[in-house]
């Protein structure tokens, strides 16, 4: 199986090209996301992307990535907590297990559920793990070796990812204000 993925047309607008420089300034590692996928890739020309097999270690790509969405490598200063349920009451209970009621954080809403971000002190390694609830993996800590897709990337379903209801994003929030990962 080839690791080159053709795309319909390389759009002149790239979410990655627009937002990646800001994430790099914050000391984070942005990843280009292959159009209509949720996986990191690198534009190789002629409307084609190749899968990035080394995205967990390589520095951010700085060249143009036509049509690419934007993702973020986690585990380096940030942990993403992915709550994969549309049950609002359950999501609120799970969220409160990680975030004190008086605190807010950056969150991202995707195809289903919500992913929110917690700060990790530099140098601390947090392993990714699942928290099964009622026999299902509804909550995942996304850290070392994991990535997430960020708004305004288009989900494969055709709907855009969006930021959470409080309006906090990586582009308007001091990351030191985020609650700390304590688990």
Kindly report, residue by residue over 21-32, the tens digit of the pLDDT. 999 999 999 999
Distances (CA, A) of 144 to 7, 48, 73, 110: 29, 28, 8, 21
In this prediction, residue 80 has a pLDDT band, given cuts at 50, 70 and 90, of very high
Q: Quick check: 7 pLDDT over 60? A: no
Q: Which helix (H) or strand (E) holds 137?
A: strand 136-142
Once rounded to an integer, what is the mean pLDDT over residues 7-16?
A: 65
Q: Quick check: 8 pLDDT over 60? A: no
Q: What is the pTM of this model?
A: 0.88
Indicate the SS3 state at residue 162: strand
Q: What is the dihedral of CA 8, 10, 12, 16, to 10 degrees?
A: 110
What average pLDDT does the chain have? 88
């Amino acid at each position: 199986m080839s690791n080159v993925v053709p795309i319909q047309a390389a759009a002149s607008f790239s979410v990655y090209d627009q937002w990646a420089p800001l994430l790099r300034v914050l000391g984070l590692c942005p990843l280009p996301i292959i159009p209509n996928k949720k996986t990191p890739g690198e534009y190789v020309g002629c409307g084609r992307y190749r899968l990035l097999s080394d995205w967990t270690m390589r520095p951010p790509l700085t060249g143009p990535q036509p049509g690419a969405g934007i993702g973020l490598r986690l585990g380096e200063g940030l942990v993403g907590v992915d709550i994969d349920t549309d049950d609002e009451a359950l999501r609120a209970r799970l969220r409160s297990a990680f975030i004190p009621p008086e605190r807010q954080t950056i969150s991202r809403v995707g195809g289903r559920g919500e992913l929110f971000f917690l700060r990790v002190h530099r140098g601390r390694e947090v392993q990714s793990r699942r928290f099964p609830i009622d026999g299902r993996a509804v909550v995942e800590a996304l850290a070392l070796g994991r990535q997430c897709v960020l708004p305004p990337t288009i989900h494969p379903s055709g709907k855009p990812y969006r930021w959470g209801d409080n309006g906090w994003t990586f582009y308007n929030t001091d990351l030191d204000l985020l609650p700390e990962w304590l688990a």
